Structure 1
Amino acid sequence: MTAPGAGRVAAALRVSVLVGVSLAAVGVAGWLTHQMLLATSLGPTAYVMLVRHSGLEARVRNAVVGHAVAFTAGLVALAVFGLWTHPSVVELHRESLTQSIAQGVAVGLTVLVLALFDIHHAPAAATALLVSSGISRPGPPLIGLVVGLAVTILLTSALSRYVPVPARRLRSSDGQEHTMAVDPKRADIERFTSEDDGGPVVMLNLLRFADGGRADYDEYARQVGARFLPAVGGEVLYSGTGSTALVSGEDGPWDAVLLVRYPSRAAFLTMVSDPEYREVSRLRTKALRSAVLQATAPWRQV
């Protein structure tokens, strides 16, 4: 483990301030309205939405659906086990056997639904516990939790734009660190557009994964292949894992290669401009340590 550089320190300080400000704002709102809006599940929610903002778990839809499922599961557990008006675990200073089972059922139901529909948001499990334990019981405590979470999700979602995805840094043989881009910049897009000949284009993707990044890229590829490529008429011509390298650069062989065909450059731009695609593409950015994304043109037959 290497010491964090100045850029990482600055990013960590920025996101810590944003998380703290978000939760403090919710607390102040509760103080002004004489309601208890701060609860334990707001902390992990703010963390996911800001610190892990490039993942799908941080999407507003995931957060809203996740906590909504948790509220429902918690209330169902209270009703089924006859705990609707039962004193909370805080008031009893302990957990009864029935309350322990109810809390397990509430969290289990929450995880089941989120896993079935592939809508993950880990802090929802904390909300299920709060409701099923009676701490956020039906009435003012539950209303306060709902309002507090709603404000937290909206506020952190708005602030997440000020938390850039950390740049990938590579260390070369001379010991120097270099930033490697994995996403195209505006100038790249403009040049890509200016060279459009109106015909089909095959995009070459050379990928080198960050530590643990393969799973994130697989999820990105699954969603793009199922939702976005068909919408613009694109298709994957080839995808494969990098094998023996006979010739490679200083950074070694690539981990994977893809060839993706689009009916036109305009079709490619339509896809990458889609707001929903941009959300999903955060997975790609997070997954890659370095990459090549290059348009190709077929050789003329002699």
Structure 2
Amino acid sequence: MTADTEPPLRPAARAFAGSAVALVVAGAIAMLTRQPWLFPSLGPAIMLHVERPDRPESSPRNTVVGHLVALLAGYAFLLVTGLADQPSAVQEGVSGARIAAAAGSLAVTAAALVLLNAPHPPAGATTLIVSLGLLHTPAQLVVAFASVLLVTALDLLFNRATGRPMPLWSAPKKG
């Protein structure tokens, strides 16, 4: 039975279960370690993994590359704009420097992912999470990246266990 011919509740149940498993595991680790293993852009990444695992933007390669580029670009722009040690945009509001950090990090992330042929739209949220100062220390960025690795591995295993194809580490075909 293919995805096109299976009853509509089956993919919904699979998306429900896969999403819940990934976030419960990451959340439990966050609770035990008191570290940011949960952050907003995990949601869209997990949804891509469990709803459309066969799509290039859902592949583990693109997920890992996308979030790594996003974390690095966001932090680089925090450093360049002098915002690395400042309160987040939520706490202190938006300034010209914060706009420059956000715009610069998103632009670099988007361009780098095009050049690397690694589309993963949730990475756009990750770079803004960093450049807006919600996650801003090197330790927080390492934990965020570890969380991306964790949920990607969990989703890969979940998809394999439920018979859904998810290419391991392949870039999409250029076309």
Bin for the TM-score computed over the shorter chain: 0.7 to 0.9
Greater relative contact order (CA < 8 Å, ≥ 6 in sequence): 2
**In structure 2, what residue type is equivalent to 1:84?**
A
**In structure 2, what residue type is equivalent to 1:41?**
S
- What's the offset of the Cα at 1:163? 4.5
Where does structure 1 lack aligned partners over 5 or more consecutive residues? Answer: 166-274, 284-302
Displacement over 3 Å in runs of 4+ = 162-165
| 2:7 match: secondary structure | helix
Instruction: Judge conservation of contact 2:14–2:50 (CA < 8 Å) in 1.
Output: no
TM (norm. structure 2) is: 0.85
In 1, Cα distance between equivalents of 2:58 and 2:120: 7
Show the counterpart of 1:99. 98
- What's the offset of the Cα at 1:117? 2.2
Number of residue pairs matched by the alignment: 169
The superposition leaves residues 96-130 of structure 1 with CA deviations (integer Å, 9 ceiling, x where unpaired) of 12102210110110010111221111111111011
Structure number with the higher helix fraction is: 2
Distance 1:125 1:276, change over 3 A: closer
In 1, Cα distance between equivalents of 2:54 and 2:133: 33
**In structure 1, what residue type is equivalent to 2:46?**
A
Percent sequence identity over aligned pairs: 30
- What's the offset of the Cα at 1:153? 1.2
1:31 aligns with 2:49: no
Q: Considering only aligned residues, what root-mean-square deviation do their CA atoms show, in Å?
A: 2.6
Show the counterpart of 1:108. 107
**1:156-171 correspondence runs (5 A):** 156-164=155-163
Show the counterpart of 2:74. 74
TM (norm. structure 1) is: 0.51
The superposition leaves residues 136-188 of structure 1 with CA deviations (integer Å, 9 ceiling, x where unpaired) of 101443233222222111111111224556xxxxxxxxxxxxxxxxxxxxxxx
Show the counterpart of 1:263. none
Where does structure 2 lack aligned partners over 5 or more consecutive residues? Answer: none
- What's the offset of the Cα at 1:33? 2.0
- What's the offset of the Cα at 1:91? 2.1
**1:184-223 correspondence runs (5 A):** none
Instruction: Judge conservation of contact 1:89–1:95 (CA < 8 Å) in 2.
Output: yes
In 2, Cα distance between equivalents of 1:18 and 1:156: 7
**1:80-91 correspondence runs (5 A):** 80-91=80-91
**1:130-149 correspondence runs (5 A):** 130-149=129-148
**In structure 2, what residue type is equivalent to 1:38?**
L
Structure number with the higher strand fraction is: 1
In 1, Cα distance between equivalents of 2:112 and 2:53: 22
In 2, Cα distance between equivalents of 1:43 and 1:14: 15
Distance 1:108 1:14, change over 3 A: same
